[in-house]
């Protein structure tokens, strides 16, 4: 079992350093992204993040220990779990949204296009990138939006799943 460093970073008052002790790791964030995308099973998460089983096991264990994730039994004999976000995990949403906005704005070639489009439920229009709805100006929360993958991104995910299945 692989362990993950969380250092003595919790010996600082700085909330950024403390948060990073929990989520300061690429795999961890990718796993969280999948949980927000409603992938709850181990293999889905593994396939869509591209991590090795150990990476995923270790992150899920740490996320559970840190209180962001719970295991939920969906099948005994054989014992099988689904992974779900807790309140603490769900509260991470704004960080993911900010990261997404920054990634959209600064980390891609313009011809790539969007991966997701969000609709602000309360106003029914596109939510845009910022923390505030582009269409109506209200602050947006997780439960106030519906996300929809663009066909291109959906295709990419389907392909990844197929590739994953084929390789085993």
Partner DNA sequence: CCATATTGCTATGAAAATCATAGTAACAAG
Partner DNA sequence: CTTGTTACTATGATTTTCATAGCAATATGG
Contact positions toward its own copies, by CB under 8 A? 7, 9-10, 12-26, 29-30, 33, 88, 91-92, 94-108, 112-115, 130-132, 139, 150, 152-153, 156
**57 binds DNA, rule: CB under 7 A:** yes
**21 binds DNA, rule: CB under 7 A:** no
Pairing of β 116-120 and β 145-149: antiparallel
**111 binds DNA, rule: CB under 7 A:** no
Binder of residue 78, out of its own copies, DNA, none (CB less than 5 to 8 A by kind)? DNA
Pairing of β 145-149 and β 125-126: unpaired
For DNA, the closer of residues 43 and 144 by Cβ is 43
Q: Which two tokens stand for residue 32?
A: 């969280």
**Are the C-beta atoms of 83 and 39 separated by less than 8 Å?**
no
What is the smallest separation between the CB atom of 119 and DNA, expressed in angstroms? 30
10: phi then psi, degrees, rounded to nearest 5:
-85, 15
Binder of residue 80, out of DNA, its own copies, none (CB less than 5 to 8 A by kind)? DNA
**Are the C-beta atoms of 75 and 41 separated by less than 8 Å?**
no
Helix (H) or strand (E) holding 84: strand 80-85
**38 binds DNA, rule: CB under 7 A:** no
Binder of residue 115, out of DNA, its own copies, none (CB less than 5 to 8 A by kind)? its own copies
Q: Which window, 74-82, 88-96, 97-105, 115-123, contacts DNA (CB under 7 A)?
A: 74-82
**Count of beta carbons in the 10 Å neighbourhood of residue 88:** 13
Q: Is the peptide bond before 78 cis (omega within 30 degrees of 0)?
A: yes
């Amino acid at each position: 079992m692989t362990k993950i460093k969380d250092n003595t970073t919790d010996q600082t008052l700085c909330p950024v350093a403390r948060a990073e002790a929990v989520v300061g790791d690429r795999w961890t964030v990718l796993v969280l992204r999948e949980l927000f995308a409603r992938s709850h099973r181990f293999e889905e998460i593994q396939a869509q993040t591209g991590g090795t089983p150990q990476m995923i096991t270790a992150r899920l264990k740490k996320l559970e220990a840190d209180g962001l994730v719970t295991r939920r039994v969906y099948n005994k004999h054989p014992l099988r779990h689904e992974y779900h976000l807790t309140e603490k995990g769900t509260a991470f949403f704004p960080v993911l949204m900010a990261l997404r906005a920054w990634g959209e704005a600064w980390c891609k070639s313009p011809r790539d296009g969007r991966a997701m489009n969000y609709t602000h439920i309360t106003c029914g229009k596109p939510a845009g990138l910022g923390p505030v709805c582009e269409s109506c100006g209200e602050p947006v929360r997780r439960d106030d939006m519906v996300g929809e993958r663009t066909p291109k991104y959906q295709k990419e995910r389907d392909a990844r799943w197929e590739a994953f299945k084929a390789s085993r």
